Amino acid sequence: MALNCTGMIFVSNTYDNLGDNHADDDVEAGPAAPLTLPLDQWHRTRGGRMVDFAGYWMPVQFEGIIAEHLWSRENAGFFDVSHMGQLYVSGEGVEAALEAALPIDLSTLPLGGARYSLLLNDEGGILDDLMVTRWGTGFHLVVNGATKWDDIATLRERLPDEITLNHLEDSALFALQGPKAFEALEPLVTGEYPLSALTFMRGGQFKLGGVDAWISRSGYTGEDGFEISVPAENAAELADLICAEPQVKPIALGARDSLRLEAGLPLYGHDMTETVDPVSADLLFGINKRRRSEGGFPGADVILPLIASGAQTRRVGLAIEGRMAAREGAKVLSGDTEVGTVTSGGFSPSLERPIAMAYVATDFTAPGTSLSIDVRGRKLAASVVPMPFVPHRYHRKGAA
């Protein structure tokens, strides 16, 4: 879907050609049809406009991208993210095994703690970004939907035989995001401790409407909020329960994309790929401090020298003058010289102006640097700005 650029959001660069249908090698076989998620009919009943995303039918909008975006910034948005892969990794020596596969420090991750990490190839490129949470005697991983089958294959190859990797196909995953997310969710859950005990990147086991649920205080919109893993068989009843709260509306992929762009959060397959390293991507927080000094993870031989010397390009934020949005693939210029490429772009409903993320040569990445973007032969004036474009509002430990 591509809407016009007079105050609307371009989403086609994010949702086109991301289907992952895993057809076999039989040349006579056609592409597999998109799969359905537990809430497929639930979305359709509520007027969701369905598209093929990551090999699944998913809603791209309900009442409209801008309205859904602004509702999430002001209230609480309910997102179905069940297309993402939920994995559970366990077994004797699991901590050391995962540290050999990921650039993560698990020795400092407490029970219920969640941490952002990266799945890297031997050349230092990013195969995926993921969340790792310590659950009981193992670790819960959430990986991207479009890459989950490749991620599972890569992890199974890297993990020793005594480590078990379970794909939690019978679980659904929701995200409830926005400043009123806690207000909406708190009356619906019970547990050994109150929901208020959770701070950003911490989770625990609760009952949601009497159903077992793992709830973590996290998300990918820049807002306070929660991610909720529940049995797929209970997905519809729990979605109804949450959305019955007056603060909550269902929100679809289009607004999820514009929210994460405002928050300066990269999207795999666009701002991150297997040819992009974490230094260029400004994602070194996904490689924990101990691992940067010790190495011992895939791609370390390439990444550690880059940390020391610096990369040739870096992911930056761009504020664009006027109302026209720059889309993925647009060239970034300094004068008439090409110095970078846009990887995500759109109109920001919160800021009421176009914004973009781009990879730009390091000599042109200082905040305030004046550049331009070539959009179909027209040069749009732009300047480098710090990210996030809209301040994060995570509920961090020690916050009021």
Domain with CATH 3.30.70.1400 in the chain: 86-167
Sign of the C-alpha dihedral computed for residues 225, 227, 231 and 235 taken in this order: positive
The 10s digit of each residue's pLDDT in 212-241 is 999 999 999 999 999 999 999 999 999 999
Domain with CATH 2.40.30.110 in the chain: 284-385
Q: At 202, list the tokens.
A: 């911490």
Q: At 187, list the tokens.
A: 């009356």
Mean pLDDT for the chain overall: 93
196, 181 contact by CB (below 8 A): no
- pLDDT at position 32 is 83
CATH numeric code, 12-81+170-262? 3.30.1360.120
Q: How far apart are CA 299 and CA 306, in angstroms?
A: 11
Share of the chain above pLDDT 70, in %: 92
Instruction: With cut-offs at 50, 70 and 90, classify the pLDDT of residue 15.
Output: very low
Classify residue 334 as exposed, middle or buried by CB count within 10 Å of its CB (0-12, 13-18, 19+).
middle
pLDDT for 5 beyond 90:
no
CATH numeric code, 284-385? 2.40.30.110
pTM check: above 0.85: yes
Give 63's DSSP letter: S
Domain with CATH 3.30.1360.120 in the chain: 12-81+170-262
pLDDT for 22 beyond 80:
no
The 10s digit of each residue's pLDDT in 145-171 is 999 999 999 999 999 999 999 999 999
Q: How far apart are CA 361 and CA 365, in angstroms?
A: 7
Share of the chain above pLDDT 90, in %: 91
CATH numeric code, 86-167? 3.30.70.1400
- pLDDT at position 31 is 67
pLDDT for 18 beyond 80:
no
The 10s digit of each residue's pLDDT in 98-123 is 999 999 999 999 999 999 999 999 99
